[in-house]
Structure 1
């Protein structure tokens, strides 16, 4: 009986220490690793893409997003027929890219027309925001975002208060 009690006590203490949340391997758990967060980021990018498709599906402005493996660039192409370079404004703030187009025309018969479009996209974490280039040819606006060799560091020290 004493041997059985000793074995049960030993097993109970081993089991309790294995589930200690302050155990040194707690934060190395597979759910808290880098791949978990990158999968999360990828899901949000796909969500943004789907929302943008829904927002612009009814208009005559069409866009597509893809990764150009040959040039190592993320690419956004927007069909902007009738727009000139001076009609389009592209800016990036932190992790968003904003593309806006506005055109107003009038003729001798006092006919006025206005056209506009707007796209707001989440930039990829490994996108080189300092070297984004855009080109407008034959009614297609092409924005290229070079991919960085290494992702931007996302780590910062947390101070204890």
Structure 2
């Protein structure tokens, strides 16, 4: 029995971590090119809290620094859409350095609503940078609920 030296290409199957590292390196080289341009400094996503009561669904949307005139709410075929634009205030500073961490730009959030909502009686209130949307549940949907006997 003769001892043979393994060829270089045969050794590749014994180096899975090197191959994985090549894939990861290639991903990060391509990352700036494939990253969506829609997620830039001109876009922000407002935080939304959604809760449910016995009578309604409640949406609370944080929109600091915005006015109610900058926000549009629509409902179409069971989908609630909130969109708007937070405009950047241009201030000229005489200082040599300024850092801005506020988000500006257009936003749009859409939510599929359950079938038990009463679309005709939705109300919205905007106060202190918070948008509150109340979507009542339909009384017909409540009465349609019944227990089913298992046979």
TM-score bracket, shorter-length normalisation: 0.5 to 0.7
Tell me the equivalent position of 1:34: none
Please tell me the root mean square deviation across aligned C-alpha atoms, in Å: 2.6
Query: TM-score scaled by structure 2?
Result: 0.53
Structure 1: distance between partners of 2:115 and 2:131: 22
Structure ranking higher on relative contact order (CA contacts 8 Å, 6+ apart): 2
The answer for unaligned runs of 5 or more in structure 1 is 1-58, 153-161
The structural deviation recorded for 1:135 is 0.8
Say if 2:52 is the partner of 1:67: yes
Where does residue 128 of structure 2 map in the other structure? Answer: 138
1:22-49 C-alpha deviation (Å, 9 max, x unpaired): xxxxxxxxxxxxxxxxxxxxxxxxxxxx
Task: State TM-score, norm by structure 1.
Answer: 0.50
Q: Which of the pair is proportionally richer in helix?
A: 1
CA distance in 2, matches of 1:145, 1:60: 22
Question: CA separation in 2, counterparts of 1:150 and 1:62?
Answer: 32
In structure 2, list runs of 5 or more residues that go unmatched: 1-43, 94-102, 143-151
